Structure 1
Amino acid sequence: MRSERSRFYAWNLGLPIAIALAIFMVFDLTSLDEAISNWLYYPNHEFPFGHNRLFENLTHRWPRIIPDLTGEAAIIGSILSFIWPLLKPGRDDRLMRSLESLRIAPLLRFTARHWRDFLFIVVSFAVITGMIHFFKSHTSIYCPVETTLYGGTMEKKEWFENFSLFHEAGAGRCWPGGHASGGFTMVALYFVARRYQWRHARAILYASMILGAIYGTTRVLQGWHFMSHTFWAGVIVWIGALLTALAFYGWRQLAPSPAKGPASFAAVAR
């Protein structure tokens, strides 16, 4: 049992921390971020798609509907989950028959049965959003186009140079990638699927990581983020979702069965 628990935390917590250290060393301690943005910026002294309204709508505004609708559906599911348990046979028979005839009863029973999962998604999204906003305000990093490197007026700094634990560090709000985190938040669905050992759990994990990566990369193309901001967003979101899942379910419900092997953050690194 102890080895199983150690393996779970090694894959799901240890590996993301190791990836964070790798990001820190490869990007934050080098000029790789600037090299990537320079390669995009210098041909015409502007970032591609930086002022393209259609690209902005396709990659930034409209894609928000995916995490937004997921969060709204989870809130509605959480609210509905309280209704069916309040109905009592004998006292509410007429109402229950009406709900059955309207085919609403199956939905209410489903939400009641999965109330913890709906609430987990709501809380997970809230925790992740709170973490992202905390790091944004307590590091005060400016986006590439806002820095003197690319026509702006603000100095480029690394997040660790400006980090303040107890108060806001300034007006910058670019680290980590907020739009990327919106895609990565869908990883909360992976933990629900992991709880039930659903065979498509790993597909949900891959889709969440790819969605966040696409969200983040498109902002790099517009000059609104450095590449490392996307990677940092992925690590922070994963840790936030994992800690919330552990609080709701415990590690035993999230650990895969021995026959299936570990399906975790490690799957992305393979």
Structure 2
Amino acid sequence: MQNTRHHFYLINVGIPLLIALGTFLAFDMTELDRVISNIFYNPRTHIFLEQHNHLFDKLTHKWPRYVPNVTGGLALIGALMSLVWPLLARLPKLQALLDVVRLGPVLRFTTAYRRDFWFVAVSFAIATGLVHYFKSHTDVYCPVELVQYGGTAIRHEWYEHLNFFHQVGHGRCWPGGHASAGYSMLALYFVARRYRWKHSILLLNAVLVLGSIYGTTKVLQGWHFMSHTFWAGVMVWLANFALAMAFYGRERLSAPLSPRAEPTTSVALVRTA
């Protein structure tokens, strides 16, 4: 049992912290970020490879934003709807009417999975808020804003101006906001992990790839350094994990994955939600 607990925290906390340390040493303490961005920058035209490609921007930024935005929106709607059916417990006639118009099953479904809807909605809000907090408290400028790449701002690392209590400067580039939007879908992984879904790891890998693509495409446009993507992933993961622990507990999250879907009833889910 003790070894299982240690392994659980090693995977969910130790590895992200190790990635954070590796990112700090490999990128923040070296010129690796600039080396990578220089590959996609034309010093003669002062333009990054995809900086002014509007189709590329739509395909990699504007349209992909709908995925986390719709997911978070649906989770919030479901969370609010989950409060309705219990309030109607003493109004059987109204419940019957809602069944007739086919809203009853929807309300019962949201009530059965109330905890999951609230977890996803809150996790999206916390992940977004955390990223915006660090953006406004580190004063880091994007590559296109730097003198090195034709801008006017001076480059510095996130830890040089970090202030936990006050907003600093006008830089708003660290960590990667677009990457964090993709990584925010990690909330779905923890829901799947709660129910021991056998494809949970596949879902996890898909979300990690999604967030990495979101972040990498902004590097091609000069709107982020590569390290910003790694930092966004670490922050969102740790925030989601902490919240998942609060909502579900270690025992549920560390249980072995089920080889097949386990049948559950709405009544049982309502009791455990």
Whether the 8 Å CA contact 2:197–2:258 is kept in 1: the answer is no
Q: Which whole-Å deviations, capped at 9, do the CAs of 1:130-187 have from their partners, x for residues lacking one? A: 1101111111100001001100011111111121122112110000000110000000
Q: Which whole-Å deviations, capped at 9, do the CAs of 1:228-252 have from their partners, x for residues lacking one? A: 1011100111011111111111111
Supply the distance in 2 between the matched residues of 1:258 and 1:198 (Cα, whole angstroms): 6
SS of the residue corresponding to residue 159 of structure 1 reads coil
Does 1:246 find its partner at 2:245? Answer: yes
Residue identity opposite 1:11 in structure 2: I
Supply the distance in 2 between the matched residues of 1:100 and 1:170 (Cα, whole angstroms): 55
TM-score by length of 2: 0.90
**Equivalent residue, structure 2, for 1:78:** 79
**Equivalent residue, structure 1, for 2:163:** 164
**Equivalent residue, structure 2, for 1:28:** 28
**Equivalent residue, structure 1, for 2:2:** 2
Distance 1:253 1:6, change over 3 A: same
Whether the 8 Å CA contact 2:193–2:257 is kept in 1: the answer is no
| Structure 2 unmatched runs, 5+ | 260-273
Supply the distance in 1 between the matched residues of 2:65 and 2:237 (Cα, whole angstroms): 19
Q: Which whole-Å deviations, capped at 9, do the CAs of 1:169-225 have from their partners, x for residues lacking one? A: 211000000011000000000000000001121122111111111111111000000
Report the alpha carbon displacement of residue 259 of structure 1 after superposing the two structures with TM: 7.8
**Equivalent residue, structure 2, for 1:125:** 124
Residue identity opposite 2:66 in structure 1: I
Superposed CA RMSD in Å reads: 1.5
Q: Which whole-Å deviations, capped at 9, do the CAs of 1:8-37 have from their partners, x for residues lacking one? A: 111100110011001111111111110011
**Equivalent residue, structure 1, for 2:101:** 102
Supply the distance in 2 between the matched residues of 1:168 and 1:36 (Cα, whole angstroms): 29
Residue identity opposite 1:144 in structure 2: P
Supply the distance in 2 between the matched residues of 1:48 and 1:23 (Cα, whole angstroms): 24
Supply the distance in 1 between the matched residues of 2:221 and 2:258 (Cα, whole angstroms): 45
Does 1:212 find its partner at 2:211? Answer: yes
**Equivalent residue, structure 1, for 2:192:** 193
TM-score by length of 1: 0.91
Supply the distance in 1 between the matched residues of 2:99 and 2:258 (Cα, whole angstroms): 40
Residue identity opposite 1:153 in structure 2: T
SS of the residue corresponding to residue 63 of structure 2 reads helix
**What pairs with 1:149-160 in structure 2 (closer than 5 Å)?**
149-160=148-159
Supply the distance in 2 between the matched residues of 1:187 and 1:211 (Cα, whole angstroms): 10
